[in-house]
Structure 1
């Protein structure tokens, strides 16, 4: 058996002076990648992706210990303890996300049981995530991402590379692709098929799609995909609430967590109803595990923003760590008569002079709308969660005011 499928490594970790900021940056990036990889492993029933999740989970365990050691060394008095307590909460939350992602991966590796209907959820995703080993003869080998210009040419992004035991998270333009790198690609079908083949020398076979044959099961699968999307959004918002010390964003994290909790109750009910009619109810066990792990991730998002909700000062080291992100997430409320009132949003792009991308809307009476799922027209009272640059975010906020 692959050792990664058994117990996590118990290799000793000794204290060494490390930058808390750098550790927090890596923990944040690792947590986000873990969520991405674990759900993709389930949706694609991909054991290779699941094993990568366990490798990353092991790395996160080391980062969590390093962060805890450094924070303990930094506490000299009660004031230090009060200021660093929220940082410890962020570290613990990232660890919880890592554990939940590992549990999701084990659904695949331990064959806990998943219905074929899970694959029917794939068309709902606008992009696919795949893992491939770089072939020495690939035209991409030895070139930087800037030289390849992959995203501009194909829409496919290299979201991470693993080089032996070293992880390169969020690779930049100067990152070189080397032979035998394990590359993680995200992009639209069928562009990703072509890029995968050029990178690895092996044709990529998209998973076969089978429509669910039980109405309750179809509802359960649709719900778990929606829960997954809301939980990812909650983690993004949580880190942004810390960056801006924004109680408004932290409250939206709490709103999302309440929504995920409610959805989990409905999801469990539909799954149990489907089990009564399913030929093999045992095949639904993985869905229950998936629902529980997804709820853990949304709870962890609340823990990340807990310091903001309790009006504790955000330690500068945390803000510096979150600032490493190239993009920010903003929250604005559409006022009646503003430039955004009545504006159409198509695939996240609002019909106004702005480079901001709307990723979610909380609409009074309707709950959360994930804009990637449908086109909408903005209404007064809509709370928009958007992604873009700081400058664009400030301009977008002015468009929401009457």
Structure 2
């Protein structure tokens, strides 16, 4: 039974920041639970969902206390929308996790959609006698030594998302580890003292089912990106980024239609069609997440003034999310992200590439069936062409350097 939540003075800005981190972590964990068939990670999703429920109630209470006149109500309305959308993301993530916990049924083929080089997400409870107990992440130097990151820590009922180098790991902490298969198991064993058993690879043997699962995984990637960009559009009051969220939501809708067609065709060849029910539940929840992303950015799309709590968050943030278009005048046209060395030259990380009215490169394989082609999580081999829209994260100075490299400022 959920406990009573009482009003206590709190910074709405801080609550919104924690809700953002929590929503993004929920999405990541829920899909990882399904893709890796992990009930332990699914349980963490439900724990985190309860935390989100408390955060959204506290945020609503603080906003109600802040509204004193019609002008306040007008500027606070979009913030309430952000809170409601974050709750939808949380509930949808819980629905995805329940596919594992309630054994709704999902074909083993879903694990076959994981690329061979994909990073694994593992849950480990820190043993008191572990070499990591009582040490900071900087002291352990885990990511440099092993390539494994601690993406979150649960300490009793409290969460530490995105722990930094000064975070000290304590006995009985629940660590959520992400890294390559060849090293994440060893880190898990060192942390927990328990043997790590990797999941067995699965080769899908039904072509239509494989296509359905591929569509679902792409929906997942695009929905995650939409939520990330939605928060960015609000934090930086960016019409351009908000419009990209709308584009992504439309692409997810197109992918869902494709997913449904492939799933219905696969049902004729699957021994037990009911086993596909979990896929349908995941697809429905994924669509909810992309719809919620649009709701997060709705205030920006409607031209409503950014509330002071959001402006304060922007002023304190060193990171920006910007949309940059490659032009024929720039140095990026006809090259790749790796050849142009974009990250080193500008400090900006390209998180997605949209090709208006284009086709995805065969290597990317991300033509969604919509009007545009998308490359989610592009790598060094991703080719760039005039007209491509780059969605990037980094510093304001880095954004200007990237615009110059793309030729946006060369008339």
* Stretch of structure 1 that moved more, 134-143 or 368-377: 368-377
Local SS of the residue matching 2:213 = helix
Local SS of the residue matching 2:391 = strand
Measure, in 1, the Cα distance between the counterparts of 2:303 and 2:322: 19
Q: Which residue of 1 aligns with 2:290?
A: 298
Root mean square deviation of aligned Cα: 1.9
Matches within 5 A, 1:188-199: 188-199=180-191
Evaluate the alpha carbon distance shift between residue 34 and residue 322 of structure 1 in structure 2; reply closer, same or farther with a 3 A threshold: farther
Measure, in 2, the Cα distance between the counterparts of 1:351 and 1:166: 34
**1:386 correspondence with 2:385:** no
Q: Which residue of 2 aligns with 1:377?
A: 383
**Conserved? CA contact 1:343–1:352, under 8 Å:** no
**1:272 correspondence with 2:264:** yes
* Stretch of structure 1 that moved more, 351-360 or 293-302: 351-360
**1:167 correspondence with 2:159:** yes
Q: Which residue of 1 aligns with 2:215?
A: 223
Which structure 1 residue ranges, 4+ long, deviate > 3 Å from structure 2?
A: 319-328, 346-352, 371-374
Q: Which residue of 2 aligns with 1:25?
A: 17
**Conserved? CA contact 1:236–1:329, under 8 Å:** no
Local SS of the residue matching 1:376 = coil
Evaluate the alpha carbon distance shift between residue 153 and residue 260 of structure 1 in structure 2; reply closer, same or farther with a 3 A threshold: same
**1:357 correspondence with 2:357:** no
* Stretch of structure 1 that moved more, 350-359 or 95-104: 350-359
Measure, in 1, the Cα distance between the counterparts of 2:339 and 2:176: 24
Local SS of the residue matching 1:361 = strand
Per-residue deviation, residues 72-114 of structure 1 (Å, max 9, x unmatched) = 1111111000000000000001000000000001111111100
1:54 CA displacement: 0.6
Measure, in 1, the Cα distance between the counterparts of 2:276 and 2:379: 26
Unaligned 5+ runs, structure 1: 1-8
Per-residue deviation, residues 347-389 of structure 1 (Å, max 9, x unmatched) = 9964872332222111022321124478322100000012233
**Conserved? CA contact 2:338–2:379, under 8 Å:** no
Measure, in 2, the Cα distance between the counterparts of 1:183 and 1:244: 32
Alignment counterpart, residue 134 of structure 1, candidates 123, 126, 139: 126
Q: Which residue of 2 aligns with 1:180?
A: 172
Matches within 5 A, 1:30-41: 30-41=22-33
Evaluate the alpha carbon distance shift between residue 280 and residue 313 of structure 1 in structure 2; reply closer, same or farther with a 3 A threshold: same
Q: TM-score, normalised by structure 1?
A: 0.94
Measure, in 1, the Cα distance between the counterparts of 2:134 and 2:340: 35
Matches within 5 A, 1:3-402: 9-123=1-115, 126-321=118-313, 327-346=319-338, 350=342, 353-365=345-357, 366=359, 367-372=373-378, 375-401=381-407, 402=410
Unaligned 5+ runs, structure 2: 360-372
1:148 CA displacement: 1.1
* Stretch of structure 1 that moved more, 64-73 or 351-360: 351-360
How many pairs align? 394
